[in-house]
């Protein structure tokens, strides 16, 4: 299945059916009177977050969603049939934006969450609704209300607890494959990862979701390489794991490159809790490892984890450090939810 995280769709709700002008014509009924029914309500357009989807690829092949209009009213006080609603099924984590791609309409972060995008038009009143003591035979009915037409954007931001960031070939995909059942493409050349990957990670009997995004390079915020188009998928994460390639001779520069691109993309993303790990330590001798660790610690201004996704050295310690932040975030979220529970 191809990955698509941005789609433009065109929606239109159904118009309401027109009211009916009709009078009773039954034999042996002395006073007939009006009996025109109301028009049916037009179908609405909804969006719903469903389980089992992690891409918007379906919206590449179908971009127009038009609900049916309500049927007009009929005689004998018969109301027209209402148009059926249309439901756009989207992955959890989908943002719905207005045509300007900036105004947020809804953010669907839970399974089953629904939002009304375009309300169907009301049906028009039949002439029966206008009958009164002073107007016993009204001969007018209302037209149905028109539907709503609009253009919207769907933008997917994957739901994950931890996000992997780093330069291409920093070992992010290898690490994700080592700690989860995810099977991202792994090779010894840059930009092996072209789309985000998710994996469920277990540590000390606990589980959390980790997202691996394509590597960033200097100038990604200006569109170089794959750009920063996939950074949105780690915006929801509680913590970022910054992997630095230990075999690189420019450790500090590599670290600052990623930090600069995060800051250029979003201040909120750059301010997220971040754990830094020096990867591929199995390929370094003791002297080189010590020197590069000191260099990275000076750049970070704090402690650095040592690990190897291939040999497994230090992996459990990194996962425990990630869980310490994730667990604290979950506890705060649960406390906040309980506080506002009616």
191 among annotated binding-site residues: yes
DSSP string, 180-201: SS------SSTT---S-EEEEE
308 among annotated binding-site residues: yes
**Count of CB atoms situated within 10 Å of the CB of 222:** 11
**Residues 109, 205 within the same domain:** no
Name the maximum alpha-carbon separation found in the chain.
Answer: 110
Q: What pLDDT digit, counting tens, does each position of 14-70 carry?
A: 999 999 999 887 777 777 789 899 999 999 999 999 988 888 888 988 999 999 999
Which position has the higher pLDDT, 238 or 214? 238
Q: What is the pLDDT of residue 203?
A: 87
Task: Name residue 151's beta-bridge partners.
Answer: 10
135 among annotated binding-site residues: no
The mean pLDDT of the chain is: 86
Q: What is the pLDDT of residue 210?
A: 87
193 among annotated binding-site residues: yes
Q: How far apart are CA 159 and CA 49, in angstroms?
A: 12
280 among annotated binding-site residues: yes
281 among annotated binding-site residues: yes
Considering 156, 183, 213, which residue would you say is the last residue of a domain? Answer: 156
168 among annotated binding-site residues: yes
List phi, psi (to 5°) of 234.
-110, 5
Residues making up the chain, counted from first to last: 342
Considering 156, 191, 217, which residue would you say is the last residue of a domain? Answer: 156
**Residues 71, 167 within the same domain:** no
**Residues 190, 150 within the same domain:** no
**Residues 109, 173 within the same domain:** no
310 among annotated binding-site residues: yes
212 among annotated binding-site residues: yes
Report the percentage of the chain scoring pLDDT > 90: 35
- Report the SS3 class of residue 176: helix
State the total domains in the chain.
2
Q: What is the pLDDT of residue 225?
A: 60
Q: Is the pLDDT of residue 333 over 80?
A: no
288 among annotated binding-site residues: no
**Residues 125, 172 within the same domain:** no
Q: For the full predicted model, state whether its pTM sits above 0.85.
A: no
Helix 251-265 to helix 286-300 angle (10° resolution) is: 30
Q: What is the pLDDT of residue 27?
A: 75
Q: From edge to edge, which strands make up the β-sheet containing 305-306?
A: 197-203, 206-212, 162-165, 239-245, 274-279, 305-306
Asked if 71 and 80 touch (Cβ cutoff 8 Å), the reply is: yes
246 among annotated binding-site residues: no
269 among annotated binding-site residues: no
174 among annotated binding-site residues: no
* Lookup result for tokens 């007018």: 140
Q: How far apart are CA 342 and CA 327, in angstroms?
A: 25
**Residues 22, 142 within the same domain:** yes
Q: Are strands 149-156 and 6-12 parallel, antiparallel or unpaired?
A: antiparallel
**Residues 52, 96 within the same domain:** yes
Asked if 309 and 315 touch (Cβ cutoff 8 Å), the reply is: yes
**Residues 203, 152 within the same domain:** no
Write out the residue range of the structural domain in which residue 177 sits: 162-339
Considering 108, 132, 156, which residue would you say is the last residue of a domain? Answer: 156
**Residues 102, 172 within the same domain:** no
166 among annotated binding-site residues: yes
Asked if 123 and 144 touch (Cβ cutoff 8 Å), the reply is: yes
Q: How far apart are CA 197 and CA 188, in angstroms?
A: 18
171 among annotated binding-site residues: yes
199 among annotated binding-site residues: no
DSSP string, 285-312: -HHHHHHHHHHHHHHHTS--EE--TTT-
**Residues 93, 195 within the same domain:** no
139 among annotated binding-site residues: no
| Six-digit token string for 207 | 């589980």
**Residues 104, 200 within the same domain:** no
CATH number at residue 301: 3.40.50.300
**Residues 141, 220 within the same domain:** no
Q: What is the pLDDT of residue 53?
A: 82
Q: Is the pLDDT of residue 270 over 70?
A: yes
CATH number at residue 74: 2.70.210.12
Q: How far apart are CA 292 and CA 240, in angstroms?
A: 21
């Amino acid at each position: 299945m191809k990955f698509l995280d941005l789609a433009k769709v065109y929606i239109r709700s159904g118009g309401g059916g027109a009211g009916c002008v009709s009078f009773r014509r039954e034999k042996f009924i002395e006073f007939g009177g009006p009996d025109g029914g109301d028009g049916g309500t037009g179908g609405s357009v909804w969006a719903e977050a469903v389980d089992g989807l992690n891409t918007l690829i379906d919206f590449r092949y179908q971009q127009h969603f038009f609900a049916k209009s309500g049927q007009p009213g009929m005689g004998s006080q018969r109301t027209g049939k209402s148009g059926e609603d249309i439901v756009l099924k989207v992955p959890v984590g989908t943002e719905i934006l207005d045509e300007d791609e900036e105004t947020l309409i809804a953010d669907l972060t839970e399974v089953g969450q629904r939002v009304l995008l375009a309300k169907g038009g009301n049906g028009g009143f039949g002439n029966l609704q206008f009958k009164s003591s002073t107007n016993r035979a009204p001969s007018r009915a209302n037209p149905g209300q028109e539907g709503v037409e609009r253009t919207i954007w769907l933008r997917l931001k994957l739901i994950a607890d931890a996000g992997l960031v780093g330069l291409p070939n920093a070992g992010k995909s290898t690490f994700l494959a080592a700690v989860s059942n995810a099977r991202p493409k792994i090779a010894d050349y840059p930009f092996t990862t072209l789309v985000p990957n998710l994996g469920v990670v277990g540590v000390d009997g606990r589980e959390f979701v980790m997202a691996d995004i394509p590597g960033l390079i200097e100038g990604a915020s200006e569109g170089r390489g794959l750009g920063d188009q996939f950074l949105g998928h780690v915006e929801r994460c509680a913590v970022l794991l910054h992997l630095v390639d230990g075999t690189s001779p420019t450790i500090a520069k590599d670290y600052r490159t990623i930090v600069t691109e995060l800051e250029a993309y979003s201040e909120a993303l750059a301010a997220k809790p971040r754990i830094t790990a020096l990867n591929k330590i199995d390929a370094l001798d003791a002297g080189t490892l010590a020197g590069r660790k000191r260099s990275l610690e000076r750049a970070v201004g704090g402690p650095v984890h040592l690990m190897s996704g291939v040999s497994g050295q230090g992996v459990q310690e990194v996962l425990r450090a990630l869980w310490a932040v994730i667990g604290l975030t979950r506890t705060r979220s649960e406390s906040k939810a309980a506080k506002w529970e009616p």
